[in-house]
Amino acid sequence: MRNKRVCDYIAEAIQNEILSGRMSSGVPLRQEELADSLGYSRIPIREALQILESQGLAKRLATRHVVVADFSDEVITEIYELLSDVEIKLLKGMLQSGICLWDKAVSDNSEQPNCVHEPSAINEKLSAELQFHETIISNSHNEYFTHILENGLWCYIRFAVEETAAGRENARRLELLSKIAEAYSDKDIKIVRELLREYFGSLCEAVIAERAESSR
């Protein structure tokens, strides 16, 4: 897991408000107000807003004011589909390079540094799920894809997994990831693609359901 800075914690707090729908599109994100409400100085607030802009959650107007970006169920669906497409491209590259994803036969992770245990060997917690994505990112040689997935992991995936009611019930998703690992070891990239789409679809559904609940 990455080491978080103050601005990362601030960005996460605002991400949760935006992605949950509690903070609506077009709401101004004023440094002074956020500093007062969150209890931080303006410097980490400014850095947090830059993070939100890079993640597509905030946009800077011609007036230089920053506001919450426009979000809809369609936009959210497109984002998770994009993350799925990028991961499958990287998984194909990893497969061609002979890099293992999860190896069920590995009993000592230190013996094969490029491998991580399947979720059940780590423990069926949310951290195992995030580690799956970190493994893919760590094997990326495309800096643009790395940027997309890092933003996706610490914003959209993190929120779906940790902050939604459906996301915290992750037994089904861990099962999907285990099946992805099995298909990957069998070099069946078609099945990997289908299962990964299903996995990201479940994250998307969790976020949309959370937003619908917040709007009631």
pLDDT value of position 107: 30
Complete DSSP assignment for 167-192: HH--HHHHHHHHHHHHHHHTT-HHHH
pLDDT digit string, tens, across residues 188-203: 999 999 999 999 999 9
| Gap between the Cα atoms of 25 and 130, Å rounded | 28
pLDDT value of position 2: 67
Query: Which residues of the chain, if any, have pLDDT below 50?
Result: 103-125
| Gap between the Cα atoms of 63 and 145, Å rounded | 31
Q: Which residues contact 109 (CB under 8 A, 6 or more apart)?
A: 115, 116, 117
Residues in the chain: 216
pLDDT value of position 205: 97
pLDDT digit string, tens, across residues 136-169: 999 999 999 999 999 999 999 999 999 999 988 8
Query: Could you tell me if 118 and 104 are in contact, meaning their C-beta atoms sit under 8 angstroms apart?
Result: yes
Query: Could you tell me if 2 and 40 are in contact, meaning their C-beta atoms sit under 8 angstroms apart?
Result: no
Q: pTM for the whole thing?
A: 0.86
Query: DSSP state, 157?
Result: I
